[in-house]
Amino acid sequence: MTTFSEIRTPRLTLRLLRASDAEDIHAYQRLPEVVEYMFWQVRTLAETREHLARRLATTALVNDGDVLVVGVELADGSGGSSRLIGEITVFLHSVESGQAEIGWAFNPKFQGRGYASEAAGRMLDWAVTELGAHRVAAQLDPLNTSSAAVCGRLGMQQEALFRENLWFKGRWGDTAVYALLRSEWEARRLGAAAPAEAGAGGGATVAEAAPGAGGMPAIRVAAAVLLRERRVLMVTARGRDVLYLPGGKIDDGETAAAAVRRECREEVSVELDEPSIRSLFTVTVQAHGEPEGRMVVMELFAATTSDEPTPSAEVDSVHWVTSADAYRCPPAGVETLARLVARGLID
């Protein structure tokens, strides 16, 4: 029997549901955009209370077919006051074969801040370490691009696409299956695995990539991920409070890996250990301070150094941060912190 115990992150608390959560849960279960890809329709408050009452009885996963729903609570100081903002569901499909499944639903008011990736990542960890899962899957409608993105951040690979395999809310629906194996989870914990979008390492030689929305060329940059005690190094520029990863644009004829070495030397006075530099993942988001539709493509490189980072050039100060500092980051930084949390590399 695997009983769930409360899990805390710097921004969230994952806990068993309570009867008093009904109104917070109904706040998103009543929204058409939340249930669009769910197997149920929008719920009244009474229906939410009835469904919640059934879920309260399960506090552990014991037998094949058991389902555990965990509430995701926003901690004080993170934009709310200890309120429930979503839920993570874990399905135990087979004890003998170690097969589990994970799903999630969140209040859209709190989307875009990495909460879903942070919470789902911790529950995926729990499924492997506590439940003993050999494989953790997620099934979703491929039109649900937000959930597909979360799967990618968690390192889950798409294994299958079943076309029109179910009649769903008046239409034929497809099902995409994503999964992460225990061996892949272990490799990610060691920082040895890179997600599918990461290349072999530093092959880019231009500062602008293919056009994004609106035909504007994307800004191509490279940045370093330097870790210490479950924190990542970020910097602030002179006269600004925004946190950035050490890095910058890639000069003509320069590889992304070479750009990272140069920028770290210029910004934080460290020499990266060249053999340690490896492509970690790539983030593509709206560029901070740029017109809507102009994207930044940021390739992240893990590396080590024996030097102590110190401010240099335009950098005012250096900071070792966790996901709790995401509110001070531009979109690319927020996404990077969420992915590092999902990999178990930072708090």
CATH number of the domain bearing residue 224? 3.90.79.10
Are residues 225 and 76 part of one domain?
A: no
Is the pLDDT assigned to residue 191 strictly greater than 60? no
Measured CA to CA, the distance from residue 86 to residue 119 in angstroms comes to 9
Burial of 344 (0-12, 13-18, 19+ CB in 10 A): middle
pLDDT for 36: 86
Tell me, what's the pLDDT at 215?
55
Indicate the pLDDT class of residue 69, thresholds 50, 70 and 90: very high
Q: Considering all CA atoms of the chain, what is the largest pairwise distance in Å, rounded to the nearest integer?
A: 63
The pLDDT score that the predictor gives to residue 43 is: 92
124 with 244, same domain: the answer is no
Q: Provide the pLDDT for residue 195.
A: 31
Specify whether the CB–CB gap between 132 and 117 falls below 8 A.
no
DSSP character for 217? E
How confident is residue 82, by pLDDT bands cut at 50, 70 and 90? low
Q: Is the pLDDT of residue 206 over 70?
A: no
Residue 308 lies inside a defined structural domain of this protein: yes
* % of residues, the chain, pLDDT over 90: 46
Average pLDDT, the chain: 85
171 and 278 part of one domain: no
CATH number of the domain within which 84 lies: 3.40.630.30
Is residue 204, in this structure, part of any structural domain at all? Answer: no
- Tell me, yes or no, whether 132 and 275 share the same domain: no
In this predicted structure, what is the pLDDT of residue 208? 39
Q: What are the DSSP calls for 59-127, one per residue?
A: -EE-STT-EEEEEEEEPTTSSSSSEEEEEEEEEEEETTTTEEEEEEEE-GGGTTSSHHHHHHHHHHHHH
Residue at 203 is within a domain: no
Cα 80 to Cα 333: distance, rounded to the nearest angstrom = 21
Please tell me the predicted confidence (pLDDT) of residue 190.
61
Does any domain span residue 170? yes
Q: What is the mean pLDDT of residues 129-138?
A: 94
Is the predicted pLDDT of residue 204 greater than 60, yes or no? Answer: no
Measured distance CA(39)–CA(42) in Å, rounded: 10
Angle between helices 115-129 and 182-189 (to 10 degrees): 120
Q: Is the pLDDT assigned to residue 165 strictly greater than 70?
A: yes
Q: Are residues 183 and 231 in the same domain?
A: no
CB–CB of 208/218 below 8 Å?
A: yes
Domain that holds residue 233: 219-343
CA 261/CA 185 separation, integer angstroms: 29
Query: For residue 52, is pLDDT > 80?
Result: yes
Question: How far is residue 283's CA from residue 169's CA, in Å, rounded to a whole number?
Answer: 34
Is residue 93 over pLDDT 70?
Answer: yes
Q: Tell me what the mean pLDDT of segment 85-114 comes to.
A: 92
In this prediction, residues 41-55 reach a mean pLDDT of 91
- Side chain identity at residue 261, one-letter code: R
Q: Is the pLDDT of residue 197 over 80?
A: no
Do 90 and 230 lie in one domain? The reply is: no
- Domain match, 43 and 180 both: yes
Strand partners, 294: none
Residues 247, 112, single domain; the answer is no
Beta-carbon count within 10 A of 4 CB: 20
Segment 15-47, tens digit of pLDDT: 999 999 999 999 999 998 888 888 888 899 999
H helix or E strand, kind and range, residue 347: none
What is the Cα–Cα distance from 217 to 298, expressed in whole angstroms? 14
Q: 176 with 228, same domain? A: no
Domain count, the chain: 2
Contact by Cβ (8 Å): 336, 323: no
Are residues 263 and 185 in contact, defined by beta-carbon separation less than 8 angstroms? Answer: no
For residue 193, the model assigns a pLDDT of 34
24 and 125 fall within a common domain = yes
Taking Cα atoms as reference points, which of 285, 267, 255 lies closest to residue 226? 267
Q: Are strands 295-302 and 278-286 parallel, antiparallel or unpaired?
A: antiparallel
pLDDT of 344 higher than 70: yes
Burial level of 89, CB count in 10 A (0-12/13-18/19+)?
middle
* Pair (23, 158) in one structural domain: yes
pTM above 0.75, yes or no: no
